[in-house]
Amino acid sequence: MVQVICDDCEQRFEVESAVEGQKVRCPKCGDVHIVRLETAPAIGAHARKRDRAAEAGYPPAFGDEAEVMIVKPALFRGKPLAFLGIMTLLVGGVVGASVFASQGNSAAGIACGVAAFAGVVVLLWWVLLKRTTHLRITTKRTVETAGLFSKATSEILHKDIRNFTVTQTFWERIWRVGKIGIDSAADDTQEIVMLDVPDPTRVHNIIDLYRPM
């Protein structure tokens, strides 16, 4: 009986009648190991690796999976002109409806009321779309969830991230928002793409703390 410590999640498990060079799979995270005669000392060396995440004040990279942060798209900083247009429609409609109603112009008052109602509907729809999209970053993976009536989920293990991009226009840099794209070694396309991410460079740096460098 050989005891193995997973070098990914640090789960201890035993392998019966293991031989040198045999491949075994961790029952907890599924990571594959090759059994060595000196398995415990070789894998134990992983625990002595520098934990950059813990040094930066975040949950430690080694050990059980823990949540690091939830990232939601910025509500208004990503599209300030669109938000200004919606608010103009909403406020202008309410003011116009009040003014025209006081003057007895019911047709114009109704038109302004409809405009105000449309502004409310668009604003609520926008907020719902933003609030039903988020990134969940843990010590092991990043998971994107999006969708209002139906849900779509994309997940990438930090150890499998091949490329991480941050894209910002001039105005997005001023408003400190941007687009992030993450793809893994298992796929040639970006598996996670999120727009209007607040402080995307910080998000990038935090995820990098949990990537093998």
Average pLDDT of the chain to the nearest whole number? 83
Work out the pLDDT band at 127, boundaries 50, 70, 90: confident
Work out the pLDDT band at 38, boundaries 50, 70, 90: very low
The CATH code that applies to domain 67-72+133-208 is 2.30.29
Q: Is the pTM of this model over 0.85?
A: no
Nearest to 91 by CA among 61, 74, 116: 116
Provide the 3-class DSSP secondary structure of residue 4. Answer: strand
User: For the segment 167-204, what is each residue's pLDDT rounded down to a tens digit?
Assistant: 999 989 999 999 999 998 766 555 899 999 999 999 99
In angstroms, rounded to a whole number, what is the distance separating the alpha carbons of residues 197 and 75? 10
Q: Supply the DSSP string of 93-117, one letter for each residue.
A: HHHHHHHHHHTT-HHHHHHHHHHHH
Is residue 184 within 8 A of residue 162, CB to CB? The reply is yes
Q: What pLDDT does 137 receive?
A: 95
For 58, list phi and psi in degrees, rounded to 5: -105, 170
Containing H/E element for 182?
strand 177-184
